[in-house]
């Protein structure tokens, strides 16, 4: 079965960077985009961007450009999201999700990133 | 960027009643590329509806989606206790995906 398993919770200081992993299994990794979504405590969902695992191409909304970098390692079917220059308002749960033309059925369990001095 | 506005913010209903949730877009969502997700506390979102009206695999038929252009609706007939959650709409017509702010469906 399709699974997306994310790395564990992180505590980082303002100005630092965090890299979250999303290890996939149960399907051919390069055939589906991976999207990342952020959810601040008690708030809604915010799309952070996608990566095409086949080509490595990425697309980010302007609010994250310059601070987010998405990469992948096809040899281990894993996608990564790095967010730099962290601020306190980056404290959130980050999810990866497998994209498809019929919706995002499969999600990771979420990774809590806490930014605190 | 397409802004999605969901209403109401909170909906208080009793099990067995029907629910109507609205999602309005700031501009037309082409090809009706709109999805609905359900989220419960501590869980990842769960896909309910895609392409505005197609029910995702495994979703009960009491969930239905409708609408086109800028106005979309999620209807839940005969609410079950497990349906009380937060619901988000998402558009994927634009290269910049966006979500609505969510509607909380709570037990009255």
Per-residue confidence (pLDDT) for residue B95, from 0 to 100: 86
pLDDT tier at B89, thresholds 50, 70, 90 = very high
Give the best residue of A42, A45, A48, A52 to mutate against chain B (max B CB count within 10 A).
A45
Enter the tokens of residue B12.
């208080």
Closest CA to A93 of A108, A107, A112, A80: A112
For residue range A40-50, list pLDDT tens digits in order: 999 999 999 99
Q: Residue A101 pLDDT > 90, yes or no?
A: no
Among all residues of chain A, which has the CA nearest to that of B41? A42
Burial of A27 (0-12, 13-18, 19+ CB in 10 A): middle
Q: CB–CB of A44 and B35 under 8 A?
A: no
For residue range A64-94, list pLDDT tens digits in order: 999 999 999 999 999 999 999 999 999 999 9
Q: Which of A44, A59, A61 sits opposite B88 (nearest CB)?
A: A44
Give the best residue of B4, B34, B35, B44 to mutate against chain A (max A CB count within 10 A).
B44
What's the CA gap between A48 and A58, in Å, rounded? 11
Closest CA to B37 of B91, B78, B81: B91
Q: CB–CB of B102 and A110 under 8 A?
A: no
Kindly report the average pLDDT of chain A as a whole number: 97
Mean predicted confidence (pLDDT) in B55-63: 97
Q: Residue A10 pLDDT > 90, yes or no?
A: yes
Q: Which of A44, A105, A109 sits opposite B99 (nearest CB)?
A: A44
Per-residue confidence (pLDDT) for residue A102, from 0 to 100: 84
Enter the tokens of residue A44.
């809604």
Enter the tokens of residue B90.
């998402």
């Amino acid at each position: 079965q399709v699974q997306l398993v994310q790395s564990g919770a992180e505590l980082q200081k303002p100005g630092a960077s965090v890299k979250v992993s999303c290890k996939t299994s149960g399907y051919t990794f390069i055939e589906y985009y991976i999207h990342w979504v952020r959810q601040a405590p008690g708030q809604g969902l915010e799309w952070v961007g996608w990566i095409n695992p086949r080509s490595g191409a990425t697309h980010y909304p302007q609010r994250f450009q310059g601070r987010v970098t998405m990469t992948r390692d096809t040899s281990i079917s894993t996608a990564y999201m790095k967010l730099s220059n962290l601020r306190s308002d980056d404290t959130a749960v980050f999810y990866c999700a497998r994209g498809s033309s019929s919706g995002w059925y499969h999600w990771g369990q979420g990774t809590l990133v806490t930014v605190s001095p | 960027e397409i802004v999605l506005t969901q209403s109401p913010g909170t909906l208080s209903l009793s099990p067995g009643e029907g629910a109507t949730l609205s999602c309005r877009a700031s501009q037309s969502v082409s090809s009706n590329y709109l999805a609905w997700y359900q989220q419960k506390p501590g869980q990842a979102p769960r896909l309910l509806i895609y392409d505005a009206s197609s029910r995702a695999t495994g979703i009960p038929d009491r969930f239905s989606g409708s609408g086109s252009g800028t106005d979309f609706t999620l209807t839940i007939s005969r609410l079950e206790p497990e349906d009380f959650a937060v619901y988000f709409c998402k558009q994927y017509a634009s290269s910049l995906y966006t979500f609505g702010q969510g509607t909380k469906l709570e037990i009255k």
